[in-house]
């Protein structure tokens, strides 16, 4: 086989695909053959690269040149200049905010340079639909290692010693979970991969599956071997993830063809196979007992966990459920050792399995941050470093207000606590959580009451309704928040919110109710003055809550500076602006729907919010 | 596809090695062919083809071939730069197919500098 000198790694994660990555790929292939380079340059589609804000993107190897925001029309020039003449194209490179010089190499862009990859180690390096690519990067070596040279107990001991904890939200020590399942009597046991990622804005698990599905399969194989008496595994993935499902299907098919799933794997007498179960996308089905009920064909509702699922789970058999990211860490721990893994992170897990947070965590960085995307960072890194070093700081030079970790039921952490390390216990202490890895950055333009309302409306909507406190309590809380943002809040509302919150937290069966009030509680704690402004002065300091703001045109500025340009009147959807060209304008408040379009389009700053 | 044995993992990895070397950008040696307009006009394409062919014939999987623009010495083109891991880059000038083959077999494969074609060792300082 003739070697290629250029490998063009085109990101085909969901974000880039929806920005026409496949068209970029086609254009690249067309231009490459037009320039007669087809024997020298190969175009590969990879999983999510992580820098979603820069997509559609491609990395040109071996030099690691990073091209961003690609358009089909850029491709002819790119192929000719870079591939043919060896001159990387500067105008398609990443330029850091407030700087002018582009950074050609991916490894030198701060977004990438400060990350540590374990779960995402193959991102952008392999074609996820080719098992050979995974194997070429050391794939299935960990499986070979455990089957030839480790007893199941030794595998378990390694995972325990590594300090790996559940990446889906709970942070339960993985080794302890495996051990309990292993010790429970039973000749039929199951392992499950929880791929029902439901947090809005979170896409860690989806990206791992789309970019490196075999790492999850290999992790499950190793888990099944360590726990013993496991011959069947299930992957529960929501049907809203069609690309992830497709990549899993391809990966499972290839693994079966190579005999890596099925009977007598590597001729070592070990049998294990995996099936995919599709969920309908209910948020609560990410909860382990609800998920298992859904696999069994029952309504996805959680049950009380007096008896843990590791003892009686799927079809009442001992079942070990781990999240996608947790499984993806397993092969690397086996290959590189527990010592290596536990050297990354915080605390000490040698005596107490809960004594620290080890390894890395993948976060989806979203909101008002410069670089949005998927980042994998070592445990113990500060929130400040994630937001300002990797994330490139706050957009448009605004001031950071708070960061929410852990998805819709995570808490908001104020600017003053940004030096907090990423650690399960530290985040819980301040009222938030690690969760599955959502990270939402808010700035001075966000109203914290509105944010709390937004996330509560999500969890309220997703409450399965089984527990009255969760079903009714969150509804009443939402009513109160609604009232506050409408300017109808009362002094006693804030106390009532706190009381309802603790009631919902304490008397719900599962973590949905148990954590849903977090956004409310933390905003009440750290941003109480914003609530008080809404309740007492009936104002929204961030100018977000529509009922509490009015748009006003400064008639002098409008006439003297803007000369009555009339743009606002033409754009107004409610026809609420009165005036004519070259005359001053004003807003008819009885008609104004407060959409804010006039405020955005006025070039003369004649419109302000009161 | 047949069922894999453990030793097959290595074989699959070996087959994919050359493309992984390119993707990881971490070869034992890097051959850079200067392909500015001047280089191409002087025959750099043929030199590039020669190196690619040498890799294929000798089944070498751990060497990267890449291109770069004009190096400023247009009258000495075609030029190549050979960089062995951990060593200073060496620039060769006025390369022909024969010279390319010798540089490949001596410098890239055996680590022996081809003194008579070499122009300079090291790179310019970038300020």
- Sketch the domain layout of chain B as residue ranges: 11-121
Q: Is A148 on the interface with B (CB under 8 A)?
A: yes
Neighboring chain B residues of A141 at a CB cutoff of 8 Å? 9
- Reduced 3-state DSSP string for A539-596: CCCCCCCHHHCCEEECHHHHHHCCCCCCHHHHHCCCCCEECCCCCCCEECCCCCCCCC
pLDDT at position B41: 87
**CA dihedral for A466, A468, A472, A473, sign (positive or negative):** negative
Q: How far is it, in rounded angstroms, from Cα A385 to Cα A367?
A: 16
pLDDT value for A2: 67
Q: Name the packing angle between helices A204-211 and A324-336 (round to 10°).
A: 60
Is residue A167 one of the residues assigned to a domain?
yes
Question: What residues 12-31 of chain B have any CB closer than 8 A to a CB of chain A?
Answer: 12-13, 15-25, 27, 30
* Residue A431 sits in the same domain as residue A365: yes
Mean pLDDT of chain A: 93
* A457 in the same domain as A314: no
Q: What is the model's pLDDT at position A4? A: 87
A26 and A92 share a domain?
Answer: yes
Contact status, residue A548 vs residue A534, Cβ threshold 8 Å: yes
Give the residue-averaged pLDDT of A426-439.
90
Mark whether A204 and A330 lie in a shared domain.
yes
**Inter-chain CB pairs, A–B, below 8 Å:** 114
Point out which residues pair with A46 in neighbouring strands: A11
Reported ipTM: the value is 0.81
Contacts of B18 in chain A (CB under 8 A): 1, 3-4
CA distance A283 to A271: 33
Alpha-helix runs per DSSP H in A41-140: 75-78, 110-113, 131-136
Residue of B nearest to A87 (CA): B69
Rounded Cα gap, residues A364 and A288, in angstroms: 22
* Contact indicator for A186, A108 with CB cutoff of 8 Å: no
B48 in contact with A at a CB cutoff of 8 Å? yes
| E strand or H helix at A482 | helix A474-485
Verify that A418 and A562 share a domain, yes or no.
no
Question: Which residues of chain A have a CB within 8 Å of the CB of B15?
Answer: 1, 132, 136
Percentage, residues of chain A above pLDDT 90: 83
Please judge whether A42 and B19 are an interchain contact, meaning their C-beta atoms are less than 8 angstroms apart: yes
Tell me A391's DSSP state.
Answer: S
Q: How much is the pLDDT for A306?
A: 87
A3 pLDDT more than 80: no
In a domain, A302, yes or no: yes
Say yes or no: A364 and A322 in one domain. Answer: no
Task: Give the pLDDT mean for A206-214.
Answer: 94
Task: Quote the number of domains for chain A.
Answer: 5
With cut-offs at 50, 70 and 90, classify the pLDDT of residue A469. very high
A165: β partners: A173
Q: What's CA B108's distance to the chain center, in Å? A: 8
Q: Dihedral sign for Cα A41, A47, A53, A56, please.
A: positive
Alpha carbon of A228: minimum distance to chain B alpha carbons (Å): 21
**Residue B22's pLDDT band (cuts 50, 70, 90):** confident
Q: Does A122 map to a domain? A: no
Residues A314 and A178 in one domain: yes
- Checking if the pLDDT of A259 tops 90, the result is yes
pLDDT(B126) > 60: no
Closest of A76, A44, A47, A72 to residue A60, by C-alpha: A44
CA distance A213 to A12: 14
Name every chain A residue with its beta carbon within 8 A of the beta carbon of B52. Answer: 2-3, 5, 39-40
CB A486 within 8 A of CB A547: yes
Separation CA A386–CA A438 (nearest Å)? 13
Contact between A535 and A484 (Cβ < 8 Å) = yes
Distance of residue A337 Cα from the nearest chain B Cα, in angstroms: 20
How would residue A258 be classed by pLDDT, with cut points 50, 70 and 90?
very high
Q: What is the DSSP string of A285-300?
A: GGSHHHHHHHHTTS--
Cα distance between residue A140 and residue A60, in whole Å: 27
Name the CATH topology of B11-121: Glutaredoxin (3.40.30)
Percentage of chain A beyond pLDDT 70 is 100
A411 and A493, same domain (yes or no)? no
For residue B7, the distance in angstroms to the closest alpha carbon of chain A comes to 9
pLDDT band at B124; cut points 50, 70, 90 = low
Question: What's B123's DSSP letter?
Answer: -
Residue A250 contacts B where some CB pair is shorter than 8 Å: no
Q: What H or E segment, with its residue span, contains residue B54?
A: helix B44-57
User: Among A499, A576, A599, A493, which residue's Cα sits nearest to residue A536?
Assistant: A493
The alpha-carbon radius of gyration of chain B (Å, integer) is: 16
Q: Is B56 on the interface with A (CB under 8 A)?
A: yes
| CATH code of the domain covering residue A500 | 1.20.1440.230
Chain A residues within an 8 Å CB radius of B17: 136
Structure tokens at A193: 């991969």
Give the CATH number of the domain where residue A96 resides.
Answer: 3.40.30.10
Angle at A46 between CA A40 and CA A48, to 5 degrees: 145
- DSSP E strands: which ranges in A48-107? 58-61, 65-67
Q: Do B55 and A3 touch (CB under 8 A)?
A: yes
CATH number, domain of A253, equals 3.40.50.11540
End of a domain among A74, A107, A140? Answer: A107
Enumerate long-range contacts of A427-433, CB under 8 Å, 24 or more apart.
Answer: A430/A522, A431/A518, A431/A521, A431/A522, A431/A525, A432/A404, A432/A405, A432/A406, A432/A518, A432/A522, A433/A169, A433/A405, A433/A406, A433/A409, A433/A515, A433/A518
Going by C-alpha positions, the residue among A375, A363, A385, A389 that lies closest to residue A97 is: A389
Q: Based on the domain organization, do A171 and A285 belong to the same domain?
A: yes
Q: How do A41-46 and A230-238 pair as beta strands?
A: unpaired
Average pLDDT over residues A241-260: 95
Q: Which two tokens stand for residue A155?
A: 């595998």
The domain boundary residue, chosen from A43, A75, A107: A107
pLDDT tens digit string along A320-379? 999 999 999 999 999 999 999 999 999 999 889 999 999 999 999 999 999 988 999 999
Confirm whether A194 is domain-assigned. yes
**Phi, psi torsion values for A302, nearest 5 degrees:** -75, 165
The closest CB to that of B65, out of A1, A5, A136, belongs to A5
Structure confidence by residue, pLDDT tens digits, A451-462? 999 999 999 999
Which residues in B lie closer than 8 A to residue A267 (C-beta atoms)? 5
Domain membership of residue A115 (yes or no) is no
Place of tokens 């994919």: B16
Is A473 a member of any domain?
yes
The reply to whether A144 touches chain B by the CB within 8 Å rule is yes
Contact between chains at B36 and A260 (C-beta distance less than 8 A): no
The answer to whether A141 contacts chain B (CB < 8 Å) is yes
Q: Is B52 in contact with A5 (Cβ distance < 8 A)? A: yes
For the stretch A390-430, pLDDT in tens is 999 998 889 999 999 988 889 999 999 999 999 999 999 99
The mean pLDDT of A102-129, rounded to a whole number, is 90
Contacts with B10 from chain A: Cβ below 8 Å: none
DSSP state of B79: -
Interface contact flag, B24 A125, Cβ < 8 Å: yes
Query: Do A463 and A365 sit in the same domain of this protein?
Result: no
For residues A256 and A379, membership in a common domain is answered with: no
Q: Report yes or no on A1 lying in a domain.
A: no
Residue A103 domain boundaries: 6-107
Measured between alpha carbons, how far apart are the two ends of chain A, in Å? 70
Residue A41, preceding peptide bond in cis (omega within 30° of 0)? no
CATH code assigned at A598: 3.30.70.20
Chain B positions touching A145 (Cβ under 8 A) are none
Closest CA to A328 of A190, A479, A174, A451: A174
- Which of A69, A89, A78 lies closest to A37 in space, CA to CA? A78
Residues A151, A154: Cα–Cα separation, whole Å: 5
**Is A75 part of any domain?**
yes
Mean per-residue pLDDT for A110-138?
Answer: 91
**pLDDT category of residue A141 using cuts at 50, 70 and 90:** very high
Q: Helices in A486-553 by DSSP H: which ranges?
A: 491-506, 511-515, 518-526, 528-532
Looking at the partner chain, which of B6, B37, B66 has a beta carbon nearest the beta carbon of A5? Answer: B66
A564 and A499 in one domain?
Answer: no
Residue of A nearest to B55 (CA): A3
């Amino acid at each position: 086989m003739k070697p290629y000198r250029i490998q063009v790694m085109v990101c085909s994660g969901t974000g880039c695909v929806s920005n026409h990555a496949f068209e970029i790929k086609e254009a690249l292939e067309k231009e490459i053959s037009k320039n007669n380079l087809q024997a020298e340059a190969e175009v590969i589609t990879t999983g999510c690269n992580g820098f979603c804000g820069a997509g559609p993107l491609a990395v040109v190897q071996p030099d690691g040149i990073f091209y961003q925001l690609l358009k089909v029309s850029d491709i002819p020039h790119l192929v000719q200049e870079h591939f043919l003449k060896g001159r990387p194209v500067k105008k398609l490179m990443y330029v850091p905010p407030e700087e002018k010089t582009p950074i050609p190499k991916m490894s030198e862009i701060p977004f990438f340079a400060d990350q540590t990859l374990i779960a995402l180690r193959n991102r952008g390096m392999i074609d996820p639909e080719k098992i050979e690519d995974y194997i070429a990067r050391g794939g299935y070596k960990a499986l070979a290692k455990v089957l030839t040279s480790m007893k199941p107990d030794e595998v378990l001991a390694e995972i325990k010693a590594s300090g790996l904890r559940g990446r889906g939200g709970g942070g339960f020590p993985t080794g302890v979970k495996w051990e309990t399942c292993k010790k429970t009597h039973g000749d039929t046991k199951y392992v499950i991969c929880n791929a029902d990622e439901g947090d809005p804005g979170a896409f860690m698990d989806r990206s791992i599956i789309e970019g490196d599905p075999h790492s999850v399969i290999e992790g499950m194989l190793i888990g099944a071997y360590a726990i013993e008496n496991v011959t069947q595994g299930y992957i529960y993935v929501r049907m809203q993830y069609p690309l992830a499902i497709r990549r899993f299907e391809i990966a499972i098919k290839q693994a079966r063809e190579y005999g890596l799933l099925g009977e007598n794997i590597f001729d070592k007498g070990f049998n294990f196979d995996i099936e995919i179960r599709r969920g309908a996308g209910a948020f609560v089905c990410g909860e382990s007992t609800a998920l298992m009920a859904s696999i069994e064909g029952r309504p996805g509702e959680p049950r009380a966990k007096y008896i843990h699922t590791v003892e009686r789970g799927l079809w009442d058999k001992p079942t070990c459920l781990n999240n996608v990211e947790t499984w993806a860490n397993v092969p690397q721990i086996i290959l590189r050792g527990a010592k290596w893994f536990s050297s990354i992170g915080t605390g000490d897990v040698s005596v107490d399995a809960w004594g620290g947070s080890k390894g890395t965590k993948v976060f989806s960085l979203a909101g008002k941050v410069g670089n949005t995307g998927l980042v994998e960072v070592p445990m113990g890194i500060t929130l400040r470093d994630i937001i300002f070093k990797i994330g490139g700081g706050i957009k448009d030079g605004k001031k950071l207000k708070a960061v929410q970790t852990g998805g819709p039921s995570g808490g908001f952490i104020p600017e003053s606590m940004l030096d907090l390390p990423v650690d399960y216990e530290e985040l819980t202490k301040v009222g938030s959580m690690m969760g599955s890895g959502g990270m939402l950055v808010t700035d001075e333009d966000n109203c914290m009451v509105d944010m709390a309302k937004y996330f509560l409306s999500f969890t309220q909507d997703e409450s399965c309704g089984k527990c009255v406190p969760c079903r009714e309590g969150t509804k009443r809380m939402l009513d109160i928040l609604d009232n506050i943002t409408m300017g109808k809040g009362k002094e006693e509302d804030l106390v009532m919110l706190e009381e309802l919150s603790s009631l919902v937290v304490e008397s719900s069966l599962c973590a949905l109710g148990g954590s849903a009030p977090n956004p409310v509680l933390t905003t009440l704690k750290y941003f109480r003055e914003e609530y008080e402004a809404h309740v007492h002065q009936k104002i929204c300091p961030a100018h977000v809550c529509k009922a509490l703001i009015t748009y006003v045109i400064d008639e002098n500025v409008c006439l003297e500076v803007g000369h009555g340009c009339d743009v606002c009147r033409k754009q107004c959807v409610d026809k609420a602006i009165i005036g004519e060209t070259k005359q001053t304008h004003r807003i008819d408040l009885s008609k104004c729907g407060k959409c804010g379009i006039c405020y955005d389009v006025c070039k003369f700053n004649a419109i302000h919010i009161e | 596809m047949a069922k894999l044995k453990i030793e097959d993992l290595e074989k699959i990895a070996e087959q994919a090695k050359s493309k992984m070397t390119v993707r990881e950008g971490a070869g034992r040696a890097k051959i850079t062919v200067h392909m500015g307009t001047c280089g191409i006009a002087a025959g750099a394409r043929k030199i590039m083809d020669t190196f690619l062919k040498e890799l294929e014939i000798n089944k070498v999987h751990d060497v990267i071939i890449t291109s770069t623009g004009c190096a400023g010495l247009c009258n000495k083109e075609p030029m190549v730069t050979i960089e062995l891991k951990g060593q200073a880059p060496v620039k060769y000038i006025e390369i022909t197919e024969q010279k390319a083959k010798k540089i490949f077999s001596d410098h890239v494969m055996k680590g022996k500098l081809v003194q008579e074609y070499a122009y300079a060792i090291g790179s310019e300082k970038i300020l």
